[in-house]
Amino acid sequence: MPADSLQLSVVVPVYNGGGTIATVVEETLRLQSNLSLEIILVDDGSIDCSSVVCEDLVRQHSDVIRFVQLARNYGEHSAVLAGLAQVRGRIVAIIDDDGQQDPDDLLQMVRLLQSTQGDVVYGVYRHKHHPVHRQFLSWLSGQTARLLLGKPAELYLSSFKVMSRFVVDRITQYRGPFPYLDGLILQSTNRIFQVQVRHRSRLAGRSGYTFPRLMRLWMNMAVGFSILPLRLSLWVGLAAATISFILLIDILIEKLWLQQNLPLGIPELIAALSFFSGLEFVLLGVLGEYLGRSFLTISGAPQYVIRSITESNSRATPDQPPRSLNERST
């Protein structure tokens, strides 16, 4: 399909979605009655049959679907960026591979984007079917984004979204090895809207977002798009130093003038040393996280490496270098 006739590109990051991705694609293909469409499937290092299912879908719908296979698991946000680098549509949608998001809702999201001349429309779930730990970390991420990234209080950051070509072109210029898609969006535009959508139970399997993965995603946002944690660590260090100085003065006054026979307790000393040593390690950890990320960015650690691209019943391995700080994948 010619690029200038495409209205909507749908990027689907796939991770162990062999039991669900075919249904998601079939539901998405129904949008062809209203929109010219392409679907980009990105396999993020799945260890199940996802790649086989995706290649079969390309064979069945070679005029609509392309399949990008990454060399290993890089995380959802890197996989999405790999898909965004391949899209040709004027509007781009992102949808999960688990079937919890209804592709039919994309129509109202696209209409809202066009009517408002906005850049991004997020889908807000009426009723969530996520486990408790994921809902908590989603809330925590939202509060952190509000504090560090200037996210509006009423805005819900969802993985289900549609974006204008303008925003897609901006965020695909990012070269850091720890992408956080919503952070890139908030840095690129304030023309952001949201609309209520359905949230269904998973079609099969379980979420790949374990608690450690969610915490790593939170860290990408917390230290990848703001220096506020460094500034907070400075103020915490100054507060701790001030408190320790005041305590020292108080001890000296007690010992020299008020109660000269006051014994200096070993337990109190150990507790104080433990507290301030722990605080020091926390501050060093924050600083080390920034230094480590800076090193990986400077060294050109890739966001993703594409193993192959399948389209039009043919399999092609791209000859471009990995997507990194210094080398752009096209």
pLDDT band at 321 (very low <50, low <70, confident <90, very high): very low
Alpha-carbon span 247 to 238, nearest angstrom: 14
pLDDT band at 329 (very low <50, low <70, confident <90, very high): very low
Q: Which residue has the higher pLDDT, 87 or 274?
A: 87
Helix (H) or strand (E) holding 115: helix 105-116
Tokens describing residue 241? 């130093």
- Tell me what pLDDT residue 324 has: 39
Which residues fall within 8 angstroms of residue 174, CB to CB, at 6 or more apart? Answer: 81, 184
Q: Where are the domains of the chain?
A: 3-208+302-316, 228-298
**In the predicted model, is pLDDT for residue 233 greater than 60?**
yes
Average pLDDT over residues 177-194: 90
The winner for highest mean pLDDT among 39-53, 226-240, 269-283, 306-320 is 39-53
3 state SS of 74: coil
Tell me which DSSP letter residue 321 carries: P
Q: pTM, whole model, 2 decimals?
A: 0.72
Average pLDDT over residues 189-217: 76
Output the CA torsion sign for 146, 150, 151, 154.
Answer: positive
Phi-psi region of 118 (alpha: psi -120 to 50; beta: other; left: phi over 0): beta
Tokens describing residue 173? 């210029």
- Tell me what pLDDT residue 211 has: 62
Q: What residues are paired with 66 via a beta bridge?
A: 40
CATH topology assigned to domain 3-208+302-316:
Spore Coat Polysaccharide Biosynthesis Protein SpsA; Chain A (3.90.550)
**In the predicted model, is pLDDT for residue 137 greater than 70?**
no
Phi-psi region of 198 (alpha: psi -120 to 50; beta: other; left: phi over 0): beta
Percent of the chain with pLDDT strictly greater than 70: 63
**In the predicted model, is pLDDT for residue 260 greater than 50?**
yes
Average pLDDT for the chain: 79
pLDDT band at 275 (very low <50, low <70, confident <90, very high): low
Alpha-carbon span 77 to 179, nearest angstrom: 6
- Give the tens place of pLDDT for each residue, 29-85: 999 988 899 999 999 999 999 999 999 999 999 899 999 999 999 989 999 999 999
* Weakest mean pLDDT among 248-262, 274-288, 306-320: 248-262
Tokens describing residue 266? 């070993």
Count Cα atoms within 13 angstroms, Cβ side, for 118: 21
Alpha-carbon span 232 to 49, nearest angstrom: 46
Percent of the chain with pLDDT strictly greater than 90: 42
* Weakest mean pLDDT among 10-14, 77-81, 317-321: 317-321
